[in-house]
Structure 1
Amino acid sequence: MQTRWFTLNGQKFFARTWGDPSLPPLLMLHGFPEYSGAWAELATELQDTFYCVAPDQRGYGQSYCPSGVEAYRTGVLASDMAALMSELGGPAIVMGHDWGASVAYGLAMFHPDLVSRLIIANGVHPVPFQRAMAAGGAQSTASQYINVLRETGSEVRFAANDFAKLMQLFSANMDLSWLTGEKLAAYKTEWSRAGRLEAMINWYRASPLVVAAPGRPLELPAMDPARLQVRCPHLLIWGMDDTALLPETREGLGEFAADLTLREIKGADHWVLHQKAGEVAGVVKDWIK
């Protein structure tokens, strides 16, 4: 593993890299509440095939961390990563997990010239996700934590007692046995950086997505599918035991991604990249071939 600094849109961003820079670039975008080091297991498996580049995204880790909610709109986040891809020399394969998937979808939809292939691991396209969260059913129930995170001052409550509530949220109904010892200490180091937890939560506050109360579906405005297309080949990897993102969040994805491949992984949940890194790497390599 190596480290690099990039200047993106005039601001400093930190990244970890694996592999030979002469190999095809693979941009790896983490989610909440992770950071660039979250890709270590998978990147180690893929570094013989790709030049793996995993940045700390805006507000995370050692990267640029502005104040205010508006600084974390998805379009701004995607602009950062579009600038990074230009620094890497142009089109690249993009892989995203959780919130990183939202940025990856944004790149594929609005910067298609920069994305040669799109890989998502337990992440969601905004339209099927919004439909599922607005339906008032199981996904609405599973997503109530979003409203909790959006509450004023939630960053203080989630940081208290050595991040006890954050750990509780992180592990709810899922296997967190991979996050112990030195790895857990490294995560807490990143969460403890000044202003970082508030910035991380501001990603949720800046999102226009709405969450219905259970049993109380919301009516959504009409959306134009033509604006939200993924036109490159798209691989979706899904840990089947995910309790944060349910299978209904994938329904209708084919409407937005004509060249879609779905690979399901048993015995893994939302944290599939940690639990099944070798299997995920095998899926990625097979699909690329």
Structure 2
Amino acid sequence: MVDHWTETVSLNGEDFFIRHWGDRDAPKILMLHGFPEYSGAWNDLAPLLAERFHCIAPDQRGYGQSWRPSEPEAYKTALLVSDMVALIGEAPLIVLGHDWGASVAYALTVGRPDLVSKLIIMNGVHPAPFQRELAKGGAQTDASQYIHFLRGEGSEDVLAKDDFEKLTSLFSANMDMSWLSGDTLAAYKSAWRDAAGLRGMVNWYRASPLQIGGVGEAIEGLSFDPARLQVQCPHLLVWGTADTALRPETTEGLEDYAPDLTRVAIDGVDHWLHHQKPNEVAKAILDWL
């Protein structure tokens, strides 16, 4: 039986809720969830990793039981990273990120390489290849049109209406959501709370510097310098091949930014791979580590 406990800690003067699995003295993995999840997103995967590691999963800023400022400017990437820097302390650890958690993980790894010994990304994207694909006006641009809706004022009210009907349909996006039911769905709704609770989550989109045009609309004049955004540590990318939210081309050329990259593809799963096939995901991670 894996030990599991929770705590509330102060990071940069604000309260953050943290879940833990495993032996306190084991090597640490910091697990960063995405949208619209919370630290409970790791309930399936973390116990499998916790046989060898101490898994640490915060509700990130704006999520779950952690601090939820209402203004979008409080969600700039540098501030999200500063929360994790405060949580980590001085000893480097392994960082694992999914979806928006991957964005924080990449920014942390690039900006504070002294704190990240290894980087694991699951269906998440490095900002440069992602922006490159968004700028093309192609398939990823079309797949990301929901970002315009989320950035609009009042989108959180629409998402929360009728017991989060719009949010759960957005969550699905032509993917397998059979895992989101019963007690799991109830726990997610509890974490979302209401429209005011959702505002912090949506503010991640509003604060993001990513540029995206309309359907089929390209953006000219963007340049990308791999030398500025290097992942210096060993990097594992675990990819669910049926993802419809993030297209596979968003990872093309990732080796230019992460020279020590290992790729593992998992068939039969999509964006929510850690819920759909946690055993396969855990094996990929543990074999690499």
**TM-score (structure 1 length as normaliser):** 0.97
Give yes or no for contact 1:18–1:51 (8 Å, CA) kept in 2. yes
Correspondence for 2:76 among 68, 73, 77: 73
Cα distance, 1:278 vs. partner? Answer: 0.4
CA distance in 1, matches of 2:253, 2:148: 25
CA deviations on 1:103-146 (whole Å, 9 max, x unpaired) are 00011000100000000000000000001111011000000001
Question: What is the correspondence of 1:97-112 to structure 2 with a 5 Å cutoff?
Answer: 97-112=98-113
Residue 156 of structure 2 contacts residue 196 of structure 2 at CA under 8 Å; is this kept in 1? no
Post-superposition, which runs of at least 4 consecutive aligned residues in structure 1 deviate over 4 A?
Answer: none
**Superposed displacement of residue 193, structure 1:** 5.4
| RMSD, aligned α-carbons | 1.0
Cα distance in 2 for partners of 1:72, 1:23 equals 31
**Separation in structure 1 between the aligned mates of residue 166 and residue 58 of structure 2, nearest angstrom:** 26
Q: Is the 8 A contact 1:134 1:220 kept in 2?
A: no
- The aligned counterpart of 1:4 is 7
Residue 242 of structure 2 is matched in structure 1 by 241
2:44 is paired with a residue whose SS is: helix
Q: How does 1:217-228 map to 2 (within 5 A)?
A: 217-228=218-229
Name the aligned partner's letter for residue 50 of structure 1. Answer: F
Pick from 57, 61, 64 the counterpart of residue 60 of structure 2: 57
CA distance in 2: counterparts of 1:220 and 1:62, whole angstroms: 41
**Amino acid in structure 1 at the alignment position of 2:45:** L
Structure 1 residues 270 and 93, CA gap change in structure 2 (3 angstroms): same
Give the superposition deviation at 1:215.
2.3
2:86 maps to which of 83, 87, 102: 83
Listed as ranges, the gaps of 5+ residues in structure 2 are none
- The match for 1:259 is 260
Amino acid aligned to 1:130: Q
For residue 125 of structure 1, what is the aligned residue in structure 2? 126
Instruction: Give the distance between the partners of 2:8 and 2:199, measured in 1 at CA.
Output: 23
Amino acid at match of 2:206: R
User: 1:29 touches 1:96 (CA, 8 Å); kept in 2?
Assistant: yes
Q: Identify which range, 184-193 or 257-266, moves more after superposition.
A: 184-193
Distance 1:193 1:24, change over 3 A: farther
Query: Counterpart of 1:41 in 2: which secondary structure?
Result: coil
1:83-232 aligned within 5 A: 83-86=86-89, 90-192=91-193, 195-232=196-233
Structure 1 spans left out of the alignment, 5+ residues = none
Q: CA deviation at 1:168?
A: 0.6
- For residues 108 and 26 of structure 2, what CA distance do their matches in structure 1 show? 21
CA distance in 1, matches of 2:138, 2:195: 38
CA distance in 1, matches of 2:220, 2:256: 20
Match of residue 49 from structure 2: 46
